[in-house]
Structure 1
Amino acid sequence: MHIQSILAITDLSARGHRTVRRAASIAAAHGALLKIMYAPMAFAGATETGAHAARHLAGLAIEMAEGFGILVKKVDDLSGRLEAIAQEARWCDLLVVGDARDPCTLAVFHGQPVARLLRAVRKPVLVARLDAATRYRRILVAVDLTDASRHLVELAWAFDDTAEVELFHALNTLHEGKLRYADVSDYTIKSLRHACARHARERMLSLSDSSTARRNRVVSAIGQGDPARQATVQQQYSKAELLVVGKHGHSAIADFVFGSVAQRVLKWSVSDVLVVPRGSGFSLPAHAEPATQGALPPALRQ
């Protein structure tokens, strides 16, 4: 991933200032242009007056430019609406936002601001939670072992070349319940479980070998169970500051009823999260959700 332009969204609060600082630190590392745009996290329209928001953005742009030695521009559109952000995001390589939650009852059905933003844009979105005083030392990538996972791994390598990268895959155990319901023997189920684990280890090795320059700085781990839950547990265990996960372009209704791995990771994780939507240039296959498919050996997949 070659980052040339970054769009940071701020509501001009202390939280929003932290988000902009994270974006500025990434821009400095990549020699990228930083654009700063005002929007309240509810994305329902501006709450600051135009003149007030413009003054704050101008001051923030000067502060980031001087503090990080980068080129910074403020976006003139101060409407604060989701459509305006999606339009501006079309011309950037990375979108950086905070994780403020909307207390409105309608957010239960339409999704929180970040979820709505992820459905509206097709760019990698970094949800910044941690203080930006230091660069990422460890990046955890949730992979599903399909070819699409290679794109997520390459993105993580390119995102911060000083960080150690850890690949994580959770073996899906849902099929075991179906097999037991069909009276399949415990021996057969255990054999299948071992075959899945062996296949996962082989695929993880293949993914970690895809960049010889970073091979000695890539580690991998395999869990078992719900992929979103296990990824967040592994993130906390390994103390990774950034978790990378893919996402499909579900509708609001589908996200509300079924949820998604990315959506649940955002809910449970305490680290920064980089979400890579399908169609962002690092797309996922139409049939697979990150860290849920691809655990079965090819001969056993349906």
Structure 2
Amino acid sequence: MGDHALSRAAHLCASHNATLDLAYLAQPGETPPADAVCRLAHHALQLGQRHDIRVRPRSRIALDPADLLSEVGCADLVVWGMAPVRGLRSLFMGQPVAGILRKGRRPVLVVRAAPSGPYRSLVVAVDFSKASGRLVELGFALNGDARVELFHAISNANEGKLRYAEVSEMAIKTYRAQCRRHAEDRMFSLKYSFDARRNRVLSTIGHGSPARQVLVQQQRSAADLVVVGKHPSSAAIDFFFGSVAESVLRDCASDVLVVPHDHRSASGAHAAKRLPGGMAVGRLRG
């Protein structure tokens, strides 16, 4: 995953005229290699020459995601190439990338596949909140020529509550149809708010667990990137009540761009010139 993330980050920097900052984040409980900083500098030299971009290797090893927060705050986009952490700590506290999302409040691109060019097909998971339009804009910012599919899953959680309350099946079907019509109206409004790109924006509505349905739609459409938002939450809340974004991150086969709903614009002086709200690319761990 590390090499794929390096390559994707370099391609993005080249296409957006951005600087690439490289950092090494040690796995929890791992002793970093003695030559980690030297290897990072070597990667920086190679990437800079190969892609004709400015690359700055970080000279200090990060032992915890918190060590990177100050640098993450100056980046427009964090490109993550760290393998998932296993064990009890990750079960209760979540993956290290979750900490960056909660505390860094920056968009994070988790890279799994070897880049073969710009992203060509995107699935953008929308919940019709104010942040949904922002997700679409960030997806287009990665590649303005990509095919974008807006996807919304109507949760069936309330249907279970209605059945538990012994509501009739006819009433449940009526409720489901009302939810569908409401979702279709909201989707129509969102889709046509991107008038200039209308012919490249598709829309689909599913029914069931949002996280599960996003994964199914990614496989069905063979999208090479899923864009999903993340509501502000703590590790405890995500553990007990679940998080759509973290579920998608855990199980999705494609690359995933996670955008915190409360994300801040990058503090770098030239960020606004690259993406709407930001994009220098910081890459965490090789």
TM-score range, shorter chain: 0.7 to 0.9
Taking only aligned residues, the RMSD between alpha carbons, in angstroms, comes to: 1.8
The structural deviation recorded for 1:99 is 4.5
Corresponding position: 1:235 with 2:221: no
- What is the CA–CA distance in structure 2 between the aligned matches of 1:142 and 1:109, rounded to whole Å? 26
Give the 3-state SS of the residue equivalent to 1:273 in structure 2.
strand
- What is the CA–CA distance in structure 2 between the aligned matches of 1:18 and 1:155, rounded to whole Å? 21
- What is the CA–CA distance in structure 2 between the aligned matches of 1:91 and 1:57, rounded to whole Å? 20
The structural deviation recorded for 1:118 is 2.4
Number of the residue aligned with 2:25: 39
Number of the residue aligned with 1:118: 101
- What is the CA–CA distance in structure 1 between the aligned matches of 2:43 and 2:108, rounded to whole Å? 21
Number of the residue aligned with 1:285: none
The structural deviation recorded for 1:260 is 0.4
Where do residues 182-221 of structure 1 align in structure 2 (5 Å cutoff)? 182-221=165-204
Give the 3-state SS of the residue equivalent to 2:88 in structure 1.
coil
Give the 3-state SS of the residue equivalent to 1:19 in structure 2.
helix
- What is the CA–CA distance in structure 2 between the aligned matches of 1:171 and 1:104, rounded to whole Å? 32
- What is the CA–CA distance in structure 1 between the aligned matches of 2:50 and 2:232, rounded to whole Å? 36
TM-score scaled by length of structure 2: 0.86
One of 76, 81, 106 as aligned partner of 2:59: 76
Contact kept? 2:37, 2:60, Cα under 8 Å: no
Where do residues 89-100 of structure 1 align in structure 2 (5 Å cutoff)? 89-100=72-83
Give the 3-state SS of the residue equivalent to 1:274 in structure 2.
strand
Structure 1 letter corresponding to 2:5: T
Corresponding position: 1:17 with 2:3: yes
Where do residues 119-198 of structure 1 align in structure 2 (5 Å cutoff)? 119-198=102-181
**How has the CA–CA distance of structure 1 residues 183 and 103 changed in structure 2, closer, same or farther, with 3 Å as cutoff?**
closer
- What is the CA–CA distance in structure 2 between the aligned matches of 1:255 and 1:176, rounded to whole Å? 23
Q: How many residues align?
A: 265
Where do residues 272-283 of structure 1 align in structure 2 (5 Å cutoff)? 272-281=255-264
One of 221, 232, 235 as aligned partner of 1:252: 235
Number of the residue aligned with 2:276: none
The farther-off stretch of 182-191 and 57-66 is 182-191
Structure 2 letter corresponding to 1:194: A
**How has the CA–CA distance of structure 1 residues 103 and 199 changed in structure 2, closer, same or farther, with 3 Å as cutoff?**
closer
Task: Show structure 2 runs of 5+ residues with no match.
Answer: 266-286
Contact kept? 1:39, 1:45, Cα under 8 Å: no
Structure number with the bigger relative contact order (C-alpha 8 A, sep ≥ 6) is: 2
- What is the CA–CA distance in structure 2 between the aligned matches of 1:55 and 1:174, rounded to whole Å? 52
- What is the CA–CA distance in structure 2 between the aligned matches of 1:179 and 1:28, rounded to whole Å? 53
TM-score scaled by length of structure 1: 0.82
One of 29, 33, 45 as aligned partner of 1:48: 33
- What is the CA–CA distance in structure 2 between the aligned matches of 1:99 and 1:145, rounded to whole Å? 31
1:8-35 Cα deviation digits (max 9, x unpaired): xxxxxxx322211111111112111111
Give the 3-state SS of the residue equivalent to 1:103 in structure 2.
coil
The structural deviation recorded for 1:183 is 3.4
Give the 3-state SS of the residue equivalent to 2:141 in structure 1.
helix
Give the 3-state SS of the residue equivalent to 1:192 in structure 2.
helix
Corresponding position: 1:101 with 2:84: yes
Task: Show structure 1 runs of 5+ residues with no match.
Answer: 1-14, 283-302
The farther-off stretch of 68-77 and 269-278 is 68-77
